[in-house]
């Protein structure tokens, strides 16, 4: 007999999903992530696979409907789509992601083969399944690793594990904590809470471990935040004004060792501004012993391709081409979509993909690991710059998302990358939040949003590797596989005992 639908469980699943974004910036209520997953896991108790899928879908609607509501801002405000069309496109994207969590619920119940989840299901199967969901979401269709639960734990005790297993691994630990709590609640086994206390206490103790060492003297660095409005940024009349703005701010900070401009700070191709702007700027930079890292599009005439790039200017000249492009932002997946609506015909939305392996830029006498925009949401790609890079730079344009959650969520992701890599991050944005993040993932200084600013601070280069840099994700994949094997063995043994 199939269980009767429990509408309260549906509502709880939706509310649990809607609550999860509160664990992330700008709210930073990190324990909510554990409670949200606990409620989701309990919602999958005593239901069949179809009901579990429905509740997983509702959870996903809540999670992504609230957590990535900024997609609407990008489409409506800057993509010039109508309220109805922007709302429809955002809803479709949110629903698409919610099918991931629906599949998660369905898969868990199919694997457990029972309406009733056992202790092993809660403590082993569900955490591993959640990790598989996050991995799939970060990989499928170029990946969307936003709202990883581990990222939300940067301000809590579990952050001690981030240099060991990365934010991705902390997602497994957070899901394990939720699974134990769900088990304790449902089966009234309060002794299991000691396991959660032990795991969290160990994380707190690990926070004091320093994984990397200082390399040379600290650099004086200035971040220039131009705050050029997105809706006029690419206008021809604005280009000269923008060039003058960034040059003037840089000249005020010749005393700095390094000046960093954000993604596409220069809204003209490299070859168009090289002779009259960049070459003289490079001469002045060398005279003052200051290096500049700046973002601009780079045209390759030989292949008729153009790249979203960063270049170093001063003591060394080098280029980095963005490798992980944003669909509909950096390129349009299906060219036939162009012309249907303004959002599919945004300026500079046909960038080519940069090469996988590119030499690191040199600035301030240091090797710099550069990421552009949401490239730093892909931890495994930032890993490729280590341990050679002694400092990290993320140059981004958050103007697309206005006054939404996105800039704050992205800043929190950058904090996780700093702690994972044991490196300071210089985060330069077009209109905020620009920041200096130390090697422990702590914010040392930030700018306000929607203001023109020049933020100066000290950045300490570092050398060496965290455990995560050395071993990357292999230990957490190994642990997840071990947990799954133990769960499978337990389920098989339990099935045999029930047949005798």
- Which active-site residues does the annotation give? 263, 322, 373
* Residues 32, 354: Cα–Cα separation, whole Å: 38
Report the candidate in 312, 313, 222, 316 with the shortest Cα–Cα distance to residue 260: 222
3-state secondary structure of 311: strand
The alpha carbon dihedral of 386, 390, 391, 393 has a sign of negative
Spatial strand order in the sheet of 425-429: 361-363, 366-372, 391-396, 425-429, 435-437, 443-446
Report the candidate in 394, 389, 386, 390 with the shortest Cα–Cα distance to residue 412: 394
End-to-end CA distance of the chain: 24
> What does the DSSP 8-state code read for residue 327?
B
Confidence at 345, pLDDT banded by 50, 70, 90: low
Average pLDDT of the segment spanning 406-420: 98
443-446/435-437 β-pairing: antiparallel
> pLDDT of 26-50, one tens digit each?
999 999 999 999 999 999 999 999 9
Q: Please say if the pLDDT value at position 129 is more than 50.
A: yes
pLDDT of residue 193: 94
Structure-token match 């392996």, residue found: 357
Average pLDDT of the segment spanning 334-360: 70
Average pLDDT of the segment spanning 429-455: 97
Q: Please say if the pLDDT value at position 98 is more than 80.
A: yes
Report the candidate in 300, 301, 319 with the shortest Cα–Cα distance to residue 310: 319
Report the candidate in 233, 246, 300 with the shortest Cα–Cα distance to residue 277: 246
Confidence at 1, pLDDT banded by 50, 70, 90: very low
Confidence at 500, pLDDT banded by 50, 70, 90: low
Q: Please say if the pLDDT value at position 151 is more than 50.
A: yes
The alpha carbon dihedral of 493, 496, 498, 500 has a sign of negative
* Residues 441, 425: Cα–Cα separation, whole Å: 9
The alpha carbon dihedral of 237, 238, 241, 242 has a sign of negative
pLDDT of residue 399: 85
pLDDT of residue 78: 75
Average pLDDT of the segment spanning 259-265: 97
CB 137 within 8 A of CB 96: no
Q: Please say if the pLDDT value at position 336 is more than 50.
A: no
> pLDDT of 164-221, one tens digit each?
999 999 999 999 999 999 999 999 998 889 999 999 999 999 999 999 999 999 999 9
pLDDT > 90 fraction of the chain, expressed in percent and rounded: 83
Structure-token match 């090289």, residue found: 274
Domains of the chain: 7-210+472-499 (no CATH), 214-465 (3.60.110.10)
> pLDDT of 291-328, one tens digit each?
999 999 999 988 889 999 999 999 999 999 999 998 87
Average pLDDT of the segment spanning 352-368: 95
Average pLDDT of the segment spanning 81-103: 95
Q: Please say if the pLDDT value at position 378 is more than 50.
A: yes
Q: Please say if the pLDDT value at position 352 is more than 60.
A: yes
Structure-token match 């063995």, residue found: 489
* Selection from 28-37, 350-359, 399-408 with the highest mean pLDDT: 28-37
Q: Please say if the pLDDT value at position 337 is more than 90.
A: no
Average pLDDT of the segment spanning 240-249: 97
Average pLDDT of the segment spanning 481-494: 92
Tokens linked to 14:
């939706």
3-state secondary structure of 452: coil
Helix (H) or strand (E) holding 300: strand 291-300
């Amino acid at each position: 007999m199939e269980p009767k639908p429990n509408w309260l469980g549906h509502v709880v699943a939706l509310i649990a999903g809607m609550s999860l974004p509160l664990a992330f910036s700008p709210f930073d209520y990190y324990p909510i992530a554990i409670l949200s997953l606990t409620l989701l896991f309990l919602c999958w108790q005593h239901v069949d696979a179809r009901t579990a899928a429905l509740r997983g879908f509702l959870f996903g609607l809540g999670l992504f409907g609230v957590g990535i509501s900024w997609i609407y801002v990008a489409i409506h405000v800057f993509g010039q789509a109508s309220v109805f069309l922007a709302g429809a496109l955002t809803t479709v994207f949110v629903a698409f992601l919610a099918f991931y969590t629906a599949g998660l619920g369905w898969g868990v119940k199919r694997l457990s083969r029972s309406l009733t989840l056992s202790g092993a299901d809660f403590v082993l199967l569900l955490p591993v399944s959640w990790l598989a969901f996050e991995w799939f979401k970060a990989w499928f269709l170029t990946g969307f690793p936003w709202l990883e639960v581990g990222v939300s734990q940067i301000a809590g005790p579990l952050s001690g594990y981030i240099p060991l297993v990365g934010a991705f691994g902390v997602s497994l630990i957070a899901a394990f904590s939720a699974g134990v709590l769900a088990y304790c609640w449902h089966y009234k086994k309060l002794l299991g809470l000691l396991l959660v206390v032990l795991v969290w206490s160990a994380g707190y103790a690990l926070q004091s471990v320093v994984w990397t060492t200082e390399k040379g003297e600290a650099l004086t660095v200035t971040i220039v935040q131009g705050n050029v409005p997105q809706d006029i940024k690419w206008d021809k009349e604005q280009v000269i004004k923008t060039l003058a703005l960034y040059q003037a701010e840089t000249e005020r900070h010749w005393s700095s060792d390094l000046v960093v401009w954000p993604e596409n700070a220069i809204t003209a191709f490299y070859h168009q501004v090289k002779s009259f702007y960049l070459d003289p700027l490079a001469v002045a930079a060398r005279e003052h012993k200051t290096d500049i890292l700046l973002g601009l599009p780079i045209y390759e005439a030989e292949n008729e391709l153009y790249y979203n790039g960063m270049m170093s200017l001063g003591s060394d000249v080098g280029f980095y081409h963005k490798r992980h492009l944003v669909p509909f932002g950096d390129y349009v997946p299906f060219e036939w979509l162009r012309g249907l609506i303004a959002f599919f015909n945004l300026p500079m939305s046909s960038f080519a993909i940069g090469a996988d392996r590119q030499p690191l830029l040199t600035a301030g006498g240091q090797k710099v690991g550069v990421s552009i925009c949401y490239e730093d949401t892909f931890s495994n790609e930032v890993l490729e710059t280590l341990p050679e890079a002694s400092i990290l730079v993320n140059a981004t344009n958050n103007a697309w998302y206005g006054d939404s959650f996105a800039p704050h969520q992205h800043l929190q992701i950058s904090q996780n990358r700093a702690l994972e890599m044991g490196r300071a991050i210089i985060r330069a944005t077009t209109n905020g939040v620009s920041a200096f993040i130390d090697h422990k993932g702590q914010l040392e200084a930030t700018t306000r949003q929607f203001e023109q600013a020049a933020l100066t601070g000290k950045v300490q280069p570092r050398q060496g590797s965290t455990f995560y840099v050395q071993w990357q994700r292999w230990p957490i994949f190994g642990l997840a596989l071990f947990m799954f094997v133990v769960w499978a063995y337990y389920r098989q043994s339990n099935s045999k005992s029930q047949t005798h």
